């Protein structure tokens, strides 16, 4: 097998160039040495490549079977129609899927198919409940792989240790979280009052003066503290309280909030009044909510809450950040206090 030997600092650009020209032999792995990278070249393309060519035995890429093909080995075509197999979540090395009750007897075989086809997966779980309770927990059951529900998820350059049976976490909000992270400025103080294991608080803390992170779920707070150590973060104050009990006394202690993140879409309206009271002029509230046909009612509820507290506000933008149910979306309303 023939390889192009190239210095590591130039490898990424060269690999991209060779891929576009379809010169790389995808049957073999790109190999890394101490200071160089070896790129496998197709036999009939050697003459098109400039640089040092070496010959050695190559390492073949392990072919990963296609998920649909594996599932068709255990499910009928009729069963495939009721199983939305493309809709799954990757959280660390855990794959989370929803299995229809009609396929319960085949759940282990379904899990094994996912384990075989999804790279770097070690655990397959199925959802067994909706997100319930004030602690926002959605129960899962292991159906294949290692018998655990704890993992470490990597997102936006940070690591999050969590247990799916003890805390709420979704990777589907990664782009939305990044949208908020990008807005944060160096001297801001951020209040993240439904923080979970820290997917907003931790990356934001790397950019700003300080974060006040709170969650009523004690398990979430346990993992948040672990994640602060994992990511070497020291500028976060941690609370395990009901957000409605936060008062101006907290603001005196922690500082005036530049932003308040209210990522609790199912019941956010129950906390909006308290968050408005915490806010100051120029505070931005990132208010998450679910709505469908009741959009006007939701926006009217926001207007009434501000009027009740004698504060004027401006809606900076409304951002859809996912679907919750048919006809119902997850939205973030960005609101600025103007007086």
Give 215 or 63, the one with higher predicted confidence.
215
State the pLDDT confidence band at 208, using cuts at 50, 70 and 90: very high
- Per-residue confidence (pLDDT) for residue 265, from 0 to 100: 94
Class of domain 2-55: alpha beta
For the chain, give every domain's residue range: 2-55, 67-148, 167-337
What value does the mean pLDDT of the chain take?
94
State the pLDDT confidence band at 305, using cuts at 50, 70 and 90: very high
State the pLDDT confidence band at 103, using cuts at 50, 70 and 90: very high
The CATH architecture that domain 67-148 belongs to is 2-Layer Sandwich (3.30)
Prediction pTM value: 0.80
- Per-residue confidence (pLDDT) for residue 228, from 0 to 100: 98
pLDDT value at 249 more than 90? no
Residue-wise pLDDT for 14-39, tens only, equals 998 999 899 999 889 999 998 999 99
State the pLDDT confidence band at 315, using cuts at 50, 70 and 90: very high
SS (H, E, C) the chain: CEEEEEEHHHHHHHHHHHHHCCCECCCECCEECCCEEEEEECHHHHHHCCCEEEECCCCECCCCCCHHHHHCCCCCHHHHHHCCCCCCEEECCEEEECCCHHHHHHHHHHHHHHHHHCCCCCEEEEECCCCECCCCECCEEEEEECCCCEEEEEECCEEEEEECCCCCCCHHHHHHHHHHHHHCCCCCEEEECCCCCCCCHHHHHCCCCEEEEECCCHHHHHHHHHHHHHCCCCCEEEECCCHHHCCHHHHHHHCCCCEEEECCCCCHHHCHHHHHHHCCCCCEEEEEEEECCCHHHHHHHHHHHHHHCCCCEEEEEEEEEEEEECCEEEEEEEEEECC
pLDDT value at 60 more than 90? no
167-337 has which fold? Rossmann fold (3.40.50)
Q: What is the rounded average pLDDT of the residues 57-73? A: 88
- Per-residue confidence (pLDDT) for residue 230, from 0 to 100: 97
State the pLDDT confidence band at 61, using cuts at 50, 70 and 90: confident
Residue-wise pLDDT for 158-201, tens only, equals 999 999 999 999 999 999 999 999 999 999 999 999 999 999 99
Q: What is the rounded average pLDDT of the residues 58-71? A: 86
pLDDT value at 320 more than 80? yes
- Per-residue confidence (pLDDT) for residue 47, from 0 to 100: 87
- Per-residue confidence (pLDDT) for residue 12, from 0 to 100: 86
Residue-wise pLDDT for 113-146, tens only, equals 999 999 899 999 999 988 777 777 889 999 999 9
């Amino acid at each position: 097998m023939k390889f192009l030997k190239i210095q590591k600092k130039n490898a990424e650009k060269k690999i991209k160039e060779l891929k576009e020209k379809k010169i790389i032999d995808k049957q073999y792995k790109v190999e890394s040495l101490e200071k160089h990278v070896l790129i496998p070249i197709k036999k009939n393309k050697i003459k098109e490549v400039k640089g040092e060519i070496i010959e050695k035995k190559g390492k073949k890429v392990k072919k990963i079977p296609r998920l649909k093909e594996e599932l068709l080995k255990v499910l009928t075509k009729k069963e495939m129609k009721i199983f939305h197999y493309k809709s799954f979540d990757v959280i660390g090395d855990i794959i989370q899927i929803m299995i229809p009750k009609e396929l319960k007897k085949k759940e282990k075989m379904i899990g094994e198919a996912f384990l075989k086809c999804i790279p770097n997966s070690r655990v397959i779980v199925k959802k067994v409940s909706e997100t319930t309770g004030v602690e926002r927990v959605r129960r899962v059951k292991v159906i294949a792989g290692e018998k655990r529900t704890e993992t470490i998820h990597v997102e936006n350059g940070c690591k999050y240790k969590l247990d799916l049976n003890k805390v709420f976490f979704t990777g589907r909000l990664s782009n939305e979280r990044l949208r908020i992270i990008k807005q944060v400025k160096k001297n801001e103080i951020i209040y993240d009052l439904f923080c979970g294991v820290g997917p907003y608080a931790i990356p934001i803390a790397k950019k700003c003066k300080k974060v006040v992170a709170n969650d009523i779920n004690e398990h979430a707070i346990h993992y948040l503290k672990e994640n602060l150590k994992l990511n070497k973060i020291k500028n976060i104050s941690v609370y395990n309280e009901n957000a409605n009990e936060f008062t101006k006394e907290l603001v005196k202690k922690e500082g005036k909030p530049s932003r308040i993140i209210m990522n609790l879409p199912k019941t956010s309206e129950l906390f909006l009044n308290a968050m408005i009271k915490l806010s100051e002029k120029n505070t931005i509230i990132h208010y998450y909510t679910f709505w469908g046909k009741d959009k006007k009612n939701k926006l009217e509820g926001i207007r009434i809450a501000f009027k009740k507290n004698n504060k004027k506000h401006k809606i900076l933008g409304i951002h859809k950040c996912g679907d919750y149910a048919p006809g119902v979306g997850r939205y973030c309303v960005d609101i600025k206090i103007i007086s």
